[in-house]
Chains A and B, each alone.
Chain A
Amino acid sequence: MTLSVNDLSYTYNRGLPTECCALHDVSFELSGGCVLSVLGHTGSGKSTLAQHLNALITAQSGSVAADGIDPAGGADARRSVRRRVGLVFQYPEQQIFADSVAEEISFAPKNWGADEEEIKRNVAWAAQAVSLPPELFPLHPHSLSGGQKRKTAIASVISAKPSYIVLDEPTAGLDCVSAREFEELISGFAGKGIGIVHITHDIELALRVSTSILILEDGRGVFYGTPGECAEFLCSVPVKGLVLPEVLELSKRLRSRGVIDTLEWTPEGLAGRLEEKWQMRTR
């Protein structure tokens, strides 16, 4: 059971003077319980890719398949793809519309025709998964704080029990404490067997949470591999719009000067490596 994308291409305003290629021959494969981060500059085609996964956009060439179902197969196929793949938009304001948090979270299971019991169960499960306390259920979503709004948005997607979730920049605009919480949320979902596509331009975050990483540059997949390979790639090839994080940059410089022999991208990792080296020297 996988979410797979093969040679996907998409061009906006085809045939018009404003024609613009958003995706060009992009491929990847994601299984349940794994986290795929999609890295790229603004306008690299990340959001277009996200909308393909949820069948909001139909492939112009190439294909998308969720558990073997291709959304090109008509309205029914599109609906079953949406059922399997949940999409959380970048800004919760874009998707929140109900009068209360509970109603918002129950929107998706209702649409998929769940019965009353099941809806209740799903809502409780989803709220708990994002640690949204039940006291908030009767409140109006727009009266919540930024972090709580985002949790509501995520809960309202996972309440349909999708096999895969696509998160579009889930930490943009959040303060550090809330951003940290989301990181834990992502690994929590993966632990529950959900496949996650995580769209971001934060290299450090991607390196920390992912099982695999796809880098897009002007709509082309220029890299696809593990975080370790990704760190190597970023250190050797400049990618448009991506700035090498400082810890990785320092790690790269120290490696090239022979101080350490592996790349590290977390502060704890690099500090640990340096400490090891220091102890070896002083011994």
Chain B
Amino acid sequence: MPRETQFILSGAEFSYPGSSGKVLSGIDLEIRAGEWVALLGSNGSGKTTLLKILSALLVPTQGSSFISGSSQDDAACGRKAPCAMVFQNPEDQIVASTLEEEVAFGPENLGCPAEEIRRRVTHSLEACGLSGMEKQLVSSLSGGQKQRLALAGALAMQPAAILLDEALSMLDPQSRRAFTEIIASEHAKGRTIVQVTHRIEEIRLAERMLLLKDGKIEFDMPREDFFRMRSEDLAAFGLELPPFEKLCEILRIRGLLPESCAADIGAVETYIYDAFGK
């Protein structure tokens, strides 16, 4: 079944007012509903700007952008945002002082009736593992919990797409894992995910990778192809293979691991045990 289009950019360019240099140029991109897309690139490659164009926070200075409305029409309540964004620093995106008020902020702006807001608040907090904390103060949360709260605030807007702007970079490994699990389950429900990052560890679940360099999309490829890229090629984008993938690469080069073996601990363990152990 062909999926609906979520975003289309054609010939999009962007430069910040007052500066001559183009942050983005010649961007042609189509993202379909339900895709999980990762935007990768080093600092200053234009990936955050591209994300802001997708969220309609910025408008391309040249070319056109199309952002579709809500993907499915829910008859019960049509008040949905096309997309919602989670930013890098949890401290900078929190508006209210208690958890429920914070999550309610989005639906309030969309004009939902009070019972609907209440339902969404309960539901979003539950999805983000914060249920029962409605009345608590935001300042009593840890960094990881605050970031999940920011995600709950985004989910409450029932967006067709969730945009993540390095949303994991300030979290410790455990919070990162918890956050990724929520994202994965939202993706399974059919939401589009667009994720900006410079760490490959964070995008193991993404389906499609866009590699940006100097404001251009250099590569647009499915996950399988991406994880076959060599570390030298990735270095050009300021990227480094995570240690485990690096290990697999070394083993493949030295002929100790076949190309066919997936870069997965269990698979590698079994292969090596079978080849070496006996």
Contact = CB atoms under 8 A, between A and B. Distances in A.
Direct contact of A and B (CB under 8 A): yes
Q: Chain A: interface secondary structure?
A: helix
A271 B251 contact: yes
B57 to A, nearest CB: 21
A274 B198 CA distance: 30
Q: Chain B: interface secondary structure?
A: helix
Contacts of A201: 172-173
A268 interface: yes
Contact of A249 (B175, B265, B276): B265
A267 B244 contact: yes
Contacts of B277: 257-259
B172 A275 contact: no
Interface in B235-278: 235, 238-240, 242-244, 246-247, 250-251, 254, 256, 265, 268-269, 272-273, 276-277
Interface string A228-243: 0000000000000111
Contacts of B166: 173
Contacts of A172: 169-170
A250 B247 CA distance: 10
Contacts of A249: 265
A275 B254 contact: yes
A175 interface: yes
Given A201-B173, A253-B265, A145 B276 contact: no
A176 B238 contact: yes
Given A146-B43, A274-B272, A176 B256 contact: no
A247 interface: yes
B170 A267 contact: no
Contacts of A246: 242-244, 265
Given A173-B169, A176-B240, A42 B144 contact: yes
Contact of A268 (B143, B174, B250): B250
A257 B270 CA distance: 10
A175 B198 contact: yes
B15 interface: no
B119 interface: no
Interface in B8-37: none
Contacts of A145: 43-44
A227 to B, nearest CB: 15
A174 to B, nearest CB: 9
Contact of A254 (B88, B170, B174, B273): B273
Interface in B184-238: 198-199, 235, 238
Interface in A166-215: 172-173, 175-177, 180, 201-202, 204
Contact of A176 (B199, B250, B268, B276): B199
Interface of B: 42-44, 88, 142-144, 166, 169-170, 172-175, 177, 198-199, 235, 238-240, 242-244, 246-247, 250-251, 254, 256, 265, 268-269, 272-273, 276-277
Give the 8 A-B CB pairs with smallest separation, nearest first.
Answer: A176-B240, A267-B247, A246-B244, A271-B250, A267-B246, A175-B198, A201-B172, A243-B173
Given A176-B198, A267-B250, 7 more contacts: A175-B43, A180-B240, A201-B172, A242-B174, A245-B243, A250-B244, A267-B246
Interface of A: 41-43, 145-147, 172-173, 175-177, 180, 201-202, 204, 241-243, 245-247, 249-250, 253-254, 257-259, 266-268, 270-271, 274-275, 277-278, 281
28 contacts: A41-B172, A41-B174, A42-B172, A173-B169, A173-B170, A175-B42, A176-B198, A176-B238, A176-B239, A176-B240, A177-B42, A177-B238, A202-B173, A242-B174, A243-B174, A243-B177, A245-B244, A246-B244, A246-B265, A247-B244, A250-B265, A254-B273, A267-B243, A267-B250, A270-B247, A274-B251, A274-B256, A278-B276
